[in-house]
Structure formats: C-alpha cells, structure tokens
Amino acid sequence: MRSPPPWPDALANHSHTRLTAERFAGCAAADWVAAWARDQGFGEDILLAMRLCVEELVTNLVMHGLTDRPPGQCFGLAATAEPGWARVTLIDDGARFDVSAVAEPGRQDSLEAARIGGRGIRLMRGFTERLEWRWVDGRNHTTLVFKTSSAPSR
C-alpha cells in the first residue's frame, strides 16, 4: 500500500492546524475552530454551530475511522471564510467514509427502541448548510459548509 502524500496539504495557505487523534481530539478541534470563528467576528450562533459540527466530525473519526490504524494518527483542519460563508475541512487518513452519503436516521418512536448513539451526523446536517466529501490522494477531505450571514436555515 502506498503512503499518503506528506503534510502539509493543499489547504496549507488557509488557517489550519494539525492535531493528534486522541480520545478527546474532538474537544481540541472544537476549541480551535471556535477561536478561529471568534477571530472572524462570527456571531454566537455560528460559533456554536461550528464548534458542535467540528467536534462531531472529529469524534466520529476517532471512534470509527481509525480503529484499525496505529495509535497516534494525526488529522488536519483547515478553515476559510468568504462573505456570507465559511468552510471547515477535516483531512484524515482514516477509513474511506463519505459522511454526506449516510442515510438520514428516522424518527425515534420510543425511548426503549432508541439508539444510544448515532446523533452526530444528524447534528452536522442540522447545523450546516451542507456537507461535502472528496477522496484525494488516499485521504478523506470532509468539508462543513456554514452560512455566516445568518443562522443556517435548516
């Protein structure tokens, strides 16, 4: 199996960070994006949406995407803003996974039948304008797209 291309990646010209996929990496990633969003002057609702979606995306990677990889894997986050929009991209060497293609879970009818987990993707869909995914040079590039001129409409 060929090695993935070296870091930094194609998004190195944007605000970016590289973190280790440890147990609470989702919290560290959320803190990074919240600080970036605050620097951009985004409102509290946008900041909440970005923090939440980045935590969910990274937590999903740590819990499911890297289980067959050696410990100490790294992942990258890059953030860009343009008038009215912001995009945050997670780049990782985990299992190939198109989060944008996951089926929407149905309504839960009872507490007894409810799943304990599985709400992260629902939250990401609800707090972004859209999710994008590309497979580039053996890496997942998952992008969260936010509308920043007002709260996401969904």
Partner 1 sequence: MTLEERDGITLLALVGKLDAKGADAIETRFAASSSHHDKVAVDLSGVDYLASMGIRLLVIAGKAASRRGAKLVLFGANDGVARIITTAGLDEIVPLLASWDAVAAALA
Residues near partner 1, by CB under 8 A: 23-24, 26-27, 30, 44-45, 48, 51-52, 55-56, 59, 105, 107-112, 114-117, 119-120, 122-123, 126-127
CB-nearer residue toward partner 1: 11 or 88: 88
Phi and psi at residue 53, in whole multiples of 5°? Answer: -65, -40
Phi and psi at residue 80, in whole multiples of 5°? Answer: -135, 150
Shortest separation between residue 23's beta carbon and partner 1, angstroms: 8
CB-nearer residue toward partner 1: 39 or 45: 45
Shortest separation between residue 110's beta carbon and partner 1, angstroms: 7
Shortest separation between residue 151's beta carbon and partner 1, angstroms: 9
Provide the 10 A C-beta neighbour count for residue 56: 22
Shortest separation between residue 24's beta carbon and partner 1, angstroms: 5
DSSP 48-111: HHHHHHHHHHHHHIIIIISTTS-TT-EEEEEEEEETTEEEEEEEE-SS---GGGSPPPPPP--T
Q: How far apart are CA 58 and CA 60, in angstroms?
A: 5
CB-nearer residue toward partner 1: 31 or 39: 31
CB-nearer residue toward partner 1: 69 or 119: 119
